[in-house]
Structure 1
């Protein structure tokens, strides 16, 4: 296979502050050969790659890597935007862009990301006062979402740390809570105490390092008490690992960094309680029956769903899922994504998604085939989950968790059994009304902010926004 490294070689030479002639002398090749390599008119030999490594201290495998999977995935997702529906490049063109102009590819992704963020921020700006203009900064939730997605929702360092957690010992689900309390006290000098709701109103878990105490609300059920203790241990014992990962996050916003720190500790806790290989094997065996998985691993339904989105280890991947959680008002309260499905940060989810219907059928799985405006089709299933209720006066805190994957994975999902792929069974959905280009949708609640259609005063469609 021919390997072209033009832009990477040119960047390396520029960083070394050398001319083509100087690099040619260093590598023992002709100046014209360096020139042709930089223009991608010639492929590079293994011998020259090895000399690059020796002379410049660069890993030749990095320089030769023309198939950056993360960048390619991001490019393919970006070009699924309806803006490019008529001129979307194919896979060979995207590979050529990455090979011949990687800087342009990265700049395009940065520009498209800024456009997407600005579009979603406009959803809020229409009702914002001058004091609300701070929303123009990326929200902490957006920082976390984008960082996790850029890492394919998978962090090998945390997986390795989780694998070492029990020191090769098997601890049964029933024994984990006691073992964790003991570990906190013996290793970290922290006592664990369950306190009445009245003593810690509005708080589920609190680390008081002054009193050397972890306090858990009695409103937490057993799986969540266990999860919270592993979360605390992760924050304290694996502080260096988490900080190392955070150093890759290009942000100086303390809110974004702390939100990401919390989610990385949650990731660690999930990896401890649902070990990668065992969880993946059981998920494949039961065809992603999350009720079964939650019982088998002693976790909540939501925790099992979230864990499934992280199974992206190279060579041992699970089904790539997106994870979406909404409240009764349609607000997106949590989102993680390892697919090409676009999740809205603002403005609620599409009303045509059956996840809204889940509130009318608590505890029931609601399966649905959907098609995005770009033509991508996904299988989505949703179910309600409950938040702790402390007293008879506490308002219902039911949420809906939705999971989705590309329809190419239908055979792996038990919830999809009996669902056909015909056009008649597919629901056309969007991200949300304000940025959805489906002009004649009978569920449209707002005029689209982009690609919108002129109003015809002589005609009334299914909604006031229909053409």
Structure 2
């Protein structure tokens, strides 16, 4: 399905059958020809705005059901699920996934529900973090209603000037009668923010950077003014685990704060005007690299979409502590460990520098595997100190040519560096960095020849 065109043939066909109508009868109700309706039902023509209006008007139909595929993340969402190594022997490609979704969206949704609740097995199970992440990916990390509320509030408090902290502090004082107080580390050794309603203070740690301070104020404003709307989104997920709901709700609070500091329309205009120049965007909006990275994964407003970035955060052991695929098809994030050949793992050696790399992700069974990635150290909680994590932003290489940070980088697929999904999921032979054999591989041994890698293997 092309971006912006609405193909919803199965949904229209189900509606027609539910109403007990022939194609000719329904076409008459919609003021179109029967042949045109036939093409719509076969997904050979998109629905025009006029036809959508007629469907809603004639049948009291919820138009959100026309985009039912978006509830499971569309083709990208299904691709991430089919990238599970248990399906690798089927060699399902994106074309097959797109055909499956177009021809049988209800069956695709049923598969996604089964996979999310049971098919992910130990990957999700009772793990609240995994449950929350699945819900974020189901939404593709875009919450249109929260974005609109944040954008409206940003206009009200006039956050367009260079220091958003002034407007945020004024909002707290005028609307909530709360003052901001910066407390020494010895008084708040284990916290970065505390709301003291008795003293009418929002207390912040002195260890916070200015960008992190503004983010915490924006988060508190979101909780004070839009908790009902945020809780409503979280409640709709119907988590079986309360901890998962709380984690998801905390993510939504952070989403609102980022949307308030980087209002959608103004932020997207700045991205496009600067070719997504990350240092300029950080300075212009007064945000940290991590806050900026989060925001770049959310630009999916209908009719006003940004580039489909993914974001990940790595610790020194190469483990993912955050993964947001957004609107990308970043199946290379579907592993607990990262590849030691990824330059992201070497960014710790260059704190504060942007490290770029064009990579081909080996072993990805669905979705694009040629990426341009940007990595930089971040401090984690916002407290001052040595770098604790590396944040990675990624974009399909075919979309990265005009990026400011891609200038001078060779993006040809044949010259990209090969990386895997962590040793246990990588079947690339001859890698001298390999620490483990791939799962599902048959180890082989040769008493005469000793190879350059510790493991020789084939596929079962």
Secondary structure of the structure 2 residue equivalent to 1:306: helix
Q: What is the deviation of 1:402?
A: 0.7
- Distance 1:422-1:3 versus aligned 2 partners, 3 A rule: closer
Cα gap change, 1:185 to 1:345, in 2 (>3 Å): farther
Native 8 Å contact 2:335 2:421 kept in 1: no
Taking structure 1 as the reference length, the TM-score comes to: 0.79
Whole-Å separation in 2 of the counterparts to 1:345 and 1:191: 43
Equivalent-residue separation in structure 1 for 2:6 and 2:383 (angstroms): 65
Secondary structure of the residue aligned to 1:226 is: helix
Are the aligned partners of 1:308 and 1:321 in contact in 2 as well (CA < 8 Å)? yes
Deviations 1:313-340 (A, max 9, x none): 1222111111111122223222211211
1:102 matched to 2:92: no
1:436 match: 426
CA contact (8 A) 2:315 2:389 kept: yes
Matched with 2:239 is: 251
Q: Does 1:377 pair with 2:366?
A: no
Structure 2 residues not aligned, in runs of 5+: none
Summarize deviations over 1:357-391 as a string: whole Å, max 9, x none.
Answer: 11111122111111122362111110112357979
> What's the RMSD between the two structures over aligned residues?
3.9
Cα distance per residue 1:147-166 (max 9 Å; x no partner): 22222222111111112214
- 249-258 vs 399-408, greater mean Cα deviation: 249-258
Deviation at 1:206, TM superposition (A): 1.5
Is the CA contact 2:195–2:201 (under 8 Å) kept in the aligned structure 1? Answer: yes
1:266/1:353 Cα in 2 relative to 1: closer, same or farther (>3 Å)? same
Aligned residue in 1 for 2:355:
366
Tell me whether 1:294 sits opposite 2:282 in the alignment: yes
Distance 2:291 2:43 in 1: 51
Aligned match of 1:214: 202
Q: Distance in 1 between matches of 2:53 and 2:171?
A: 49
Q: CA deviation at 1:408?
A: 1.4
Q: Return the offset for 1:66.
A: 8.4
Q: Does the residue aligned with 1:446 lie in a helix, a strand or coil?
A: coil
Gaps of at least 5 residues in structure 1 are 122-134
Deviation of 1:90 after TM superposition, in Å, equals: 5.4
Q: Kindly tell me: are residues 185 and 98 of structure 1, through their superposed partners in 2, closer, same or farther at Cα, counting changes over 3 Å?
A: same
Aligned 8 A contact 1:385 1:400 in 2: yes
- Residues 370, 378 of structure 1: 8 Å contact kept: yes
Alignment partner, residue 129 of structure 1: none
> CA separation in 1, counterparts of 2:242 and 2:141?
21
**1:418 corresponding residue in structure 2:** 408
Q: How does 1:274-313 map to 2 (within 5 A)?
A: 274-313=262-301
Residues 53, 463 of structure 1: alpha-carbon distance in 2 compared, 3 angstrom cutoff:
same
Cα distance in 2 for partners of 1:310, 1:41 equals 32
Partner SS state of residue 375, structure 2: strand
Aligned to 1:72: 75
Q: How far, CA to CA, are the matches of 1:330 and 1:2 in structure 2? A: 40
| Distance in 2 of aligned mates of 1:245 and 1:427 | 40
Spell out, residue by residue over 1:256-289, the C-alpha distance to the aligned partner (whole angstroms, 9 max, x if none): 1111222111111111111212221222222222
Structure 2 counterpart of 1:163, from 141, 148, 151 = 151
Work out whether 1:57 is the aligned partner of 2:50: no
Rounded to whole Å, the distance in 1 between the matches of 2:255 and 2:42 is 45
What's the CA shift for 1:445?
A: 1.6
Which of 319, 322, 325 pairs up with 2:310?
A: 322
| Contact 1:7–1:101 (CA under 8 A) maintained in structure 2 | no
Residues 397 and 376 of structure 1, relative CA distance in 2, 3 Å threshold? closer
Larger radius of gyration: 1
Structure 1 residue 78: deviation in Å? 3.9
1:300/1:99 Cα in 2 relative to 1: closer, same or farther (>3 Å)? closer
Aligned partners of 2:360 and 2:418 also within 8 Å: yes
Say how many residue pairs are matched. 435
Q: How far does the alpha carbon of each residue in 1:280-321 deviate from its partner, in whole angstroms, 9 at most, with x for none?
A: 122222222211111111111221222111111122211111
How many Å apart are 1:407 and its aligned residue? 1.0
TM-score, normalised by the number of residues in structure 2? 0.80
Per the alignment, do residues 26 and 280 of structure 1 end up closer, same or farther by CA in structure 2, a change over 3 Å counting? closer
Match of 1:124 in 2: none
Counterpart of 1:153?
Answer: 141
Q: Work out whether 1:448 is the aligned partner of 2:438.
A: yes
Residues in 1 aligned to 2:380 and 2:408: alpha-carbon distance in whole angstroms? 32
Secondary structure of the corresponding residue to residue 412 of structure 1? coil
- Is the Cα contact below 8 Å between 1:439 and 1:453 reproduced in 2? no
Determine helix, strand or coil for the equivalent of 2:441. coil
Q: Deviations over 1:415-464 (max 9, x none)?
A: 11222234552122222222333354332222323x32333253543333
SS class of match (2:343): coil
Distance 2:51 2:167 in 1: 55
